[in-house]
Amino acid sequence: MKVAGLFAGIGGLESGLAAAGHESLMLCEIWAPARAVLSARFPDVPIETDVVDLKALPTETEVVVGGFPCQDLSQAGMTAGIAGKRSGLVGHVFRLLDQRPVPWVVLENVSFMLHLDKGRGLRTLIEAFEERGYRWAYRVVNSLAFLPQRRERVLFVATTTDVDPAAVLFSSDAAAHDPDTTLSTHAHGFYWTEGIRGLGWAPDAIPTLKNGSTVGIASPPAIMLPSGEVVTPDIRDAERLQGFEAGWTEPATTVGRASLRWSLVGNAVTVPVAKWLGEQLANPGSYDAHRDRDLASDGRWPKAARFDGDRRRGVEIGKFPVWRERPALVEFLRFDGKPLSERATRGFLSRTDRSTLRFLPDFLERLRRHLDYMEGGGGLFAPSYELSAVAAE
């Protein structure tokens, strides 16, 4: 299909759709560092600056896609809801659809939007689509199905065609894989900025890459390697953990500081997730109506749901549409990480002292050894902070 990409970021959705055979007609992105990446990676595609100023979609558009700004919907943000100043920009999608109807729409956002303000943001979206004659389906999909990153996002598909959007999103379901790991055999990702409540722990994977800040304060996760080394990953591995080629965001450094690359990667749509969706759009499967469930009477939204043109229904299905085999995290990483700083390590350990969280055996002890090493007074533990030859190949 012919794609118009709104809120394109660094082109995660569009790259995945292109890998599935779809073609971008236009991209729209307001942030200059992201536009620099788009210009370099999609040199033949026109790029518009601001969706607010966009007069109309290209005439040939068959699907509008957008990972619309999630700051107001994010659990970590101001939780202003769908009408927030930035997330309210999704209203321009409907303005453009009213001017030039398009048969397919694909939106992506954080999974917390299902719960925020009792789901008001999602309710606003679906009512707007239903008023315009669209059937819709949505599903929470975890990037861990494809790559060693635990990242849950809502994929929302709406259409005015005869194709059932449920056949796009719900035709496959795979069992979750819980790896049998130990600290001495596998890498474990965690967020050093936490430690009191949600640890953000991920065995043989990293927790969700965060976007840091738009002024360039990076917020990479930490990774405890089997050797005992505790590092933050190189930005090139962060790109790869989102399914991009290493160095994908480097063009952003022509218009901003290098640390902004973390924000670009953290905001992006995981490429193989978008590719899977693109393949489903091109070749929908079938939907088993036995998965239908009644929606909760209190208005809460489930992890998956659909509207068939007559009735809204919940859908009983998991977060893994497939499960793709991948190397262990320690083997996936290609570039030397940076040792987690003394300050970051000490802060995390201080928070864990005040928490009731439970950790893997020896996890905190390894962190204390890492802190000793960073302070220069340990002597018992002197990691090289270089990936093994096998992992670096």
List, in order of start, the domains of the chain with CATH numbers. 2-176+269-315 (3.40.50.150), 188-233+325-392 (no CATH)
Instruction: Please give the backbone phi and psi of residue 2, each rounded to the nearest 5 degrees, phi first.
Output: -90, 130
Instruction: Decide if pLDDT at 93 tops 70.
Output: yes
Q: Taking all residues of the chain, what is their mean pLDDT, rounded to a whole number?
A: 89
Instruction: Decide if pLDDT at 146 tops 70.
Output: yes
pLDDT for position 84 = 57
Instruction: Decide if pLDDT at 60 tops 50.
Output: yes
| 150-169 mean pLDDT | 97
Cβ-based neighbour number of residue 255 at 10 Å: 15
- pTM here is 0.91
| Token digits of residue 284 | 């929908």
- Dump the DSSP string for 86-131: TGGGGHHHHHHHHHS--SEEEEEEEGGGGTGGGGHHHHHHHHHHHH
pLDDT for position 106 = 98
pLDDT for position 227 = 94
pLDDT for position 70 = 56
Better pLDDT: 190 or 298: 190
Instruction: Decide if pLDDT at 76 tops 50.
Output: no
Provide the annotated active-site residues.
70
pLDDT for position 383 = 53
Separation between Cα atoms, residue 356 and residue 352, nearest integer Å: 8
